[in-house]
Structure 1
Amino acid sequence: MAISLSKGQKIDLTKTNPGLTKVIVGLGWDTNKYDGGADFDLDASAFLLNAAGKVSSDQDFIFYNNPSNSNHSIAISGDNRTGEGAGDDESVMIELANVPAEVHKIAFCITIHEARERNQNFGQVANSYVRVVNEANNEELIRYDLGEDFSIETAITVGELYRHNGEWKFSAVGSGFQDGLAGLCRDYGVTV
Structure 2
Amino acid sequence: MARVVMQGVVSVDGFVADPDDEVGPLFDWYFNGEDELLARPSGWRFTVSPASATYAQPFWDAIDVTVIGRHLFDLTNGWDGKAAAGEHLVVVTHRPLPDEWLAAHPDASTHPADSVEAGIARARELAGDDGLICVSAGEVGGQAFAAGLVDEVAMDMAPVVLGHGKRFFGDHTGAVLLDDPDQVVQGDRVLHLHWTVRR
The structure with the largest strand share of the pair is: 1
TM-score of the two chains, using structure 1 as the length reference: 0.27
The structure with the largest helix share of the pair is: 2
TM-score of the two chains, using structure 2 as the length reference: 0.26
